[in-house]
Structures are given as structure tokens and as C-alpha cells.
Amino acid sequence: MVFTPDYVAPDAPPAFEDMCGDVWTQMCRHECAFSPEIFFDKMMNLIKNPNINSSWLFRADIVYDDAASPACIGDVEDESRPRVREVKDIPRTRILVRTLVPRNTLRDAPMNQTCTFHQHASQGEEDLIRSLVIYIPHVDSVEDYPFYHPKVRGVAHYHEWDASTGAGFISVHFLPLVDVPLAADKNLQRIAYHLLEVLHKHGEGVAKGYVKRVQHDLIVPQVKFQDRYAELKGRYARSLIGEWDEKTDPVKHVFEDLGIAAFLIEMWTAMYRDQPFPGFVDIGCGNGLLVHILNQEGYSGWGFDARSRGSWQKYASPCSASPTGSSLAQRLLLPSIVHSTTSSPADPATTHDGVFPTGTFIISNHADELTPWTPLLATLSSSPFVVIPCCSHALSGARQRHPPPKDKSKGNSTYASLVEWTRHIMERCGWEVETETLRIPSTRNIGLVGRRRTVEEVDIRQVIAEFGGADGFASNVEQLLKGGLRGH
């Protein structure tokens, strides 16, 4: 169904009657093929995730829900006390109060908002079901409206459903500010169009059987991640972007590494709550920014890459775990289990054998040819790890597209194939695989985490052979010192 909404005349009668006597303005309307159950389900998702409708918002925290805690409204704290509007012939069924949390709290403050659900089957027309969700901001003057909220006293999503035909309509309504007409406000018209379009897209998707593939916040809760990310962003973003020395896009790389750092810090906080942090190593650390952020936040560790970067002079700090005494070192990783079979000895001044102190947390962030090696190295060192795949390589270091996942719901892209292939190596090495879709500005945003073992004894050489062998790895990666270097 193509989204082509109808715009209602400004003088059209209201679609529902507010018992306070205020008149709601219907902005736009569109037919729909999804039921009231889907309507309420999608509206609840939008209430919990306002970032779907506005990129200015991080999330919403539910501070009151009469379905979960039906306390007397009078007992609720003033700032969280619901501002409820009743609608004639459409009884209220639920009250929530949410706090809208903006991405930039330096520009906009959080704001509370009452969300009420209403529904009624019309008498004499039992097949007609009317459902309504109303948002009322806790704002007392025009000056108090935050940037991310439209300048209206209320927003409503209305769903009309004829159960006999399986067809209906959805519409968006605004409760205007006193003596402020909406007809000439192009910005409010655009907002209404967007709100209706998002609801239509999500509702029709479910009606057609769409199942969401991406699942966020399985390892680190959304609130903890976003609060940590906001803290790191406020502390570092401006200076890191302003002092960027690389040729790559500073905004993308800074925000991406701040997001990864926030995820790691929150995961480590839970993992090492009752024990000292064991240190980390970032293999294929690229520009060294992630190592720098983690070190600044008090997490000791180091990183290395096949070649140094100009940024290292700013980001490097003393580190006793590093072979050079610096948190950033130039080393080519030649796993001992592979290089021991070659005739030429490895030079410890330019290479690393991939064996780390037991328990060292291994970070493999867009490490290209080291991606499939990460679970193998972690197994040899008995170390937990995270691998964020990027470009597709074989264990030999050569570029290779891997077979698509057998589970068709995971897609068949090159990236999906790489993620699935890396997962299989992790499982074969005896790791319980945890998957997190990271909230970072990158399409390569799948984090595979290994923290727990399912099998203790594994023949690593046999695993390498099963996944294509490592012949030519040393010569392939040594080309990194001669050219064809990645830009991570």
C-alpha cells in the first residue's frame, strides 16, 4: 500500500470529542490494513522508542504505568503526575507517563509526557472499533517546549477499524496552542505527515508478516549504554573531532569508537564487578582512538597494528603490558600456531605471536584478516573477546566471500555471510556466542562476544583445517607492510 495520505480541511469537524471542551485538529488520514491489536502494539513500541520518530531523542523512560502499578494518581510525584484527557464515547484503558531523553542534554532538557490509550466498539455497529492514543506534554508555557517537541498541547493517533471488512483508517491529530491556528504551519504539517507515515509503515509491516531481524541491547541494557555514551560524548567528542589528524571522517570515527567504548565499559562493569579488570588488547587497533578512550576511562590495555598512525603520538600512553612500553605499538600478528610451521623465524621486534596473558580481554574491531583468527587466539590464551567483523577474509588472510547463512532470515549479504562464518568458528572453538547489534554509526555493527566456554578442550589445528586452513597467511599479511593497508 503506497503511502499517500489525505489532508483534512481545517474547518472539518473533529473526529472525536475532548471532554475538556478543547477541539482537536485532524491533520492527515490514510487507509490501513492492520488491526487494533497491531495499532496498540506499534504505538507502545513508539512510546518506548521515541527515537524512531525523532533523531533528536535517545529514548524514553517509563516513570508511571497504571497497568504495572495502578497506584492512585494523587500519590504520584508532581513532575510525573499524569495529565489525563478523557474522550467522549472512547473510554480510557491505560495511562503511562514517559520521560523523553534527548541526545544532547546541553541543548534540550528531558520532558515528561502523559500517554493514554482509549478504545471503544460503537453501539449498534459492533464491527466498528475506534482506538486512540493521546500524548500530552508536561509543559506550561510556549517558552518551555523543547526543540524536539512540536509546539502543540497534544498529539493523537486515531485508528478506526471495520472488523467485518478487515480495513480501516489511521489519522494524526494535534491539539493546538490557544489562539494559534494550525492550517498555515508547514512545519506542523510535515511533522504530522512523518508521524502518520511511521505508524503506517510499522503497522503494515506487521500485517504483512514482517519479523524484526535486528535485536538491540541483549548484552548491555539500552539505558546503561545510552547514559554511558552520552557521558563519553560530552567528555571527549568536541576535542577529538577538533584535533583529528587522520584523512578519514572524524565525526563517524569518533562517534563510532565512543559507542564501542560505551558498550565495552558497561559490559566490563558487569563482568568484572567482583574482580580486578584483567587488561585488554586491541588487535588491529588502526588509529588507536578506541585504546585511547578506554585508557582515559581507567581501563588498562594496549593495541597494535601492522603500521603506525600519525594519531598515535597523541593517543599513546605508558603501558607495562605492551612489548614497547607504549599503549600503541607497531606489530604484525603472526599466530604462533601458524608461524611455527614455517622455516623463517619471526622477528619479535616487528611481529606478535598472538598469545596473550590468560584472561586478557581481546578486542577485534574491524580487524579484517584477523577477524576469523580472533576466536582461535582467544582459545589459545583462554581470554574473553569481542569481534566486530568488517571485511571478509579467509584464515589464509586472502579475501574471500563465505557461504550465505542457512537461516534465510539472516540475509545473504557478504557481511551476513562473514558474521555467520565467524560465529561458526567461535562455536567450533567451544565458545558460547552472544550477539549484540551495536548502536554505532556503521553498517558493520554486529558484535560477537565470547565470554563463556561450552567445551574446554579443542584441537585448534583441526579447527583451522576444517575452516579452510591457513596456508599463505604469513605471506598475505606481510603485504600489509608493503602496501594495500586498510584504513581503519
Q: Is 140 left (phi over 0), alpha (psi -120 to 50) or beta?
A: alpha
Q: How far is the C-alpha of 322 from the C-alpha of 279, rounded, in Å?
A: 11
Q: What pLDDT is attached to residue 163?
A: 85
Strand partners, 134: 116, 156
- Per residue in 9-20, pLDDT (tens digit) is 877 899 999 999
Same structural domain for residues 406 and 477?
yes
> Among residues 343, 386, 332, which one has the least CA distance to residue 364?
386
Q: How far is the C-alpha of 331 from the C-alpha of 348, rounded, in Å?
A: 9
Q: What pLDDT is attached to residue 484?
A: 43
Cβ distance 264 to 258 under 8 Å? no
The total number of structural domains in the chain stands at 2
Q: What pLDDT is attached to residue 168?
A: 95
Q: How far is the C-alpha of 132 from the C-alpha of 170, rounded, in Å?
A: 10
Task: Report CA Rg, the chain.
Answer: 27
Please give the residue range of the domain that contains residue 477: 222-481
Same structural domain for residues 184 and 271?
no
Helix H, strand E, coil C: the string for the chain is CCCCCEECCCCCCCCCCECCCCCCEEEEEEEECCCHHHHHHHHHHHHHCHHHCCCCEEEEEEEEECCCCCCCHHHCCHHHCCCCCCECCCCEEEEEEEEEEECCCCCCCCEEEEEEEEEEECCCCCCEEEEEEEEEECCCCHHHCCCCCCCCCEEEEEEEEECCCCEEEEEEEEECCCCCCCCCCHHHHHHHHHHHHHHHHHHHHHHCCCCCCCCCCCCCCHHHHHHHHHHHHHHHHHHHHHCCCCCCCHHHHHHHHHHHHHHHHHHHHHHCCCCCCCCEEEECCCCCHHHHHHHHCCCCEEEEECCCCCCHHHHCCECCCCCCCECEEECEECCHHHHCCCCCCCCCCCEECCCCCCCCEEEEECCHHHCCCHHHHHHHHCCCEEEECCCCECCCCCECCCCCCCCHHHCCCHHHHHHHHHHHHHHHCCEEEEEEECCCCCCCCEEEEEEEECCCCCCHHHHHHHCCCCCCHHHHHHHHHCCCCCCC
Cβ distance 33 to 166 under 8 Å? yes
Task: Report the first-to-last Cα separation within the chain, whole angstroms.
Answer: 42
Same structural domain for residues 179 and 287?
no
Same structural domain for residues 195 and 268?
no
Residue 363 Cα to chain centre, angstroms: 19
CB burial class (10 A; 0-12, 13-18, 19+) of residue 72? exposed
Q: How far is the C-alpha of 339 from the C-alpha of 346, rounded, in Å?
A: 7
Strand partners, 326: 318
Residue 14 Cα to chain centre, angstroms: 39
Same structural domain for residues 285 and 165?
no
Q: Which of 137, 172, 207 lies at the terminal end of a domain, its last residue? A: 207
Residue 131 falls within a domain, yes or no?
yes
Same structural domain for residues 176 and 228?
no
CA distances (Å), 177 to each of 25, 154, 158, 181, 463, in order?
Answer: 11, 9, 20, 8, 67
> Among residues 139, 85, 130, which one has the least CA distance to residue 112?
139
Q: What pLDDT is attached to residue 469?
A: 94
Residue 57 falls within a domain, yes or no?
yes
Same structural domain for residues 168 and 56?
yes
Place of cell 509543559: 139
Same structural domain for residues 273 and 125?
no
Same structural domain for residues 375 and 398?
yes
Residue 217 falls within a domain, yes or no?
no
Residue 269 falls within a domain, yes or no?
yes
CA distances (Å), 108 to each of 89, 111, 140, in order?
Answer: 37, 9, 16
Strand partners, 157: 133, 172
Same structural domain for residues 226 and 194?
no
The domain that contains 108 carries what CATH number? 3.30.530
Q: Which of 156, 172, 207 lies at the terminal end of a domain, its last residue? A: 207
Same structural domain for residues 123 and 50?
yes
Residue 184 falls within a domain, yes or no?
yes
The pTM assigned to this predicted structure is 0.78
Cβ distance 300 to 279 under 8 Å? yes
Residue 242 falls within a domain, yes or no?
yes
Q: Count of CB atoms within 10 A of residue 265's CB?
A: 21
Residue 359 falls within a domain, yes or no?
yes
Q: How far is the C-alpha of 425 from the C-alpha of 376, rounded, in Å?
A: 8
Same structural domain for residues 326 and 470?
yes
The domain that contains 288 carries what CATH number? 3.40.50
- Per residue in 85-98, pLDDT (tens digit) is 999 999 999 999 99
Q: What pLDDT is attached to residue 343?
A: 47
Kindly give the parts of the chain with pLDDT less than 70.
1, 69-77, 121-126, 183-184, 211-213, 339-346, 480-488
Q: Which of 144, 179, 207 lies at the terminal end of a domain, its last residue? A: 207
Mutual angle of helices 374-381 and 414-428, in 10-degree steps: 20
Residue 216 falls within a domain, yes or no?
no
